[in-house]
Amino acid sequence: MAEVGAHLTAAPAGGERPSVFEAVAQDSLMAAVKPALQHLVKVLAESNPGRYGFLWHWFDELYVLLDLLLQQHYLARCSASFSENFYSLKRIPMGDGRQQPLATAGLPKRQHWKSLLLLVLVPYLKGKLEKLVSSLREEDEYSIHPPSSSWKRFYRAFLAAYPYVNMTWEGWFLIQQLRYILGKAEHHSPMLKLAGVRLIRLTAEDIQALEKKWAETTPNKTHSITSRVQSALRRALGGIAFSLSTGLSVSVFFLQFLDWWYSSENQETIKSLTALPTPPPPVHLEHEPSSALLPSLKTVCPLCRKVRVNATALATSGFVFCYRCIYSYVKAHQRCPVTGYATELQHLVKLYSPES
């Protein structure tokens, strides 16, 4: 059963503190899920941009909503995040009380909402910041603005400071893990300390309570319309969250394999094993209004409808534009204006003719 976790083994007395391997493994679980799902969405968007392109464009926002629903479901039912429950762990409030609450009791409201925000919001903001840094670096490399502009000086200073900020952030986590290994800290992650909780293993009583709670699924017989609507909404959200958690529990190892396969360390091996042939021309242009962008003369830019200046091709689709036109369009829309294929600034290829 997904609610109880993948490893339902009771911890021995005195062994409630999880090992650093369990703690780090549950952290890496969700970190592997997002890139794998992102690759699947990218494949869908490239296969049919008109139908699935919005999934790729709004992937971060859609993922954070699904993550919010999933983590809220597990924190409320199991006092743990999805990955913590998968490794048979639970969160308890920090304190010196000897009586540890059952996993089904839930966290106090303050620790619950702090845990939810730190589980969902911090990774989302960190990912957005990394994308911002990446886009600024691309703009710094491909920008057509004068190098003396004040905005360019500002983000160059930001880009110079970001590696040190990121190193400090990662070092904070590393030091906390080292202190946890040496027994000097109760938390392997600073996020747990900020949430006011710590991790322990599930006990036999926790497992029995979770199984009993899962079995007691009788609907409440209420007569108030408001109560019925609220109850139906809770059941619907719980069903969606359970479907997501069950699907992730079943496919988590497959998703981790996808994350490993498409990681940057393996890209050279993948390129050598799966050499890409020349892509065929888009076959869906006849049925889409975007084909009207194509001019009759091959030397005319499809965007500005003038003779091309500094001809630049898109590696994703093969169509040729003016450099300024396609740079501005790709920066704003992240796709090819003709085919709708997902495109980034590094896909711009400068063409050189014999006349130049």
d(CA 48, CA 63): 20
Nearest to 299 by CA among 341, 344, 340, 353: 353
The answer to whether position 246 is within a domain reads: no
The answer to whether position 30 is within a domain reads: yes
Whether this prediction's pTM lies above 0.75 is answered by no
Q: How many domains does the chain have?
A: 2
Q: Are residues 170 and 307 in the same domain?
A: no
- The residue range of the domain holding 188 is 15-217
Domain end residue (candidates: 217, 243, 278): 217
The pLDDT value given to residue 7: 43
Q: Are residues 301 and 211 in the same domain?
A: no
Domain end residue (candidates: 166, 192, 217): 217
Q: Are residues 315 and 183 in the same domain?
A: no
The pLDDT value given to residue 5: 45
Q: Are residues 173 and 321 in the same domain?
A: no
pLDDT tens figures, 320-344: 999 989 998 998 888 888 888 888 8
Q: Are residues 36 and 161 in the same domain?
A: yes
Q: Are residues 213 and 303 in the same domain?
A: no
- Residue 96: phi and psi, rounded to 5, are -105, 15
pLDDT tens figures, 11-54: 333 458 888 888 888 888 777 778 777 878 888 887 788 788 88
Q: Are residues 72 and 204 in the same domain?
A: yes
Q: What is the mean pLDDT of each run of 10 residues along the chain (356 residues)?
A: 43 64 83 78 81 86 89 87 86 72 83 92 91 79 60 78 91 92 89 90 83 62 60 64 58 60 56 52 49 73 89 89 91 86 86 69
The answer to whether position 237 is within a domain reads: no
Which residues are CB-neighbours of 345 under 8 A, at least 6 positions away?
Answer: 135, 138, 139, 142, 327, 330, 331
Domain end residue (candidates: 166, 187, 217): 217
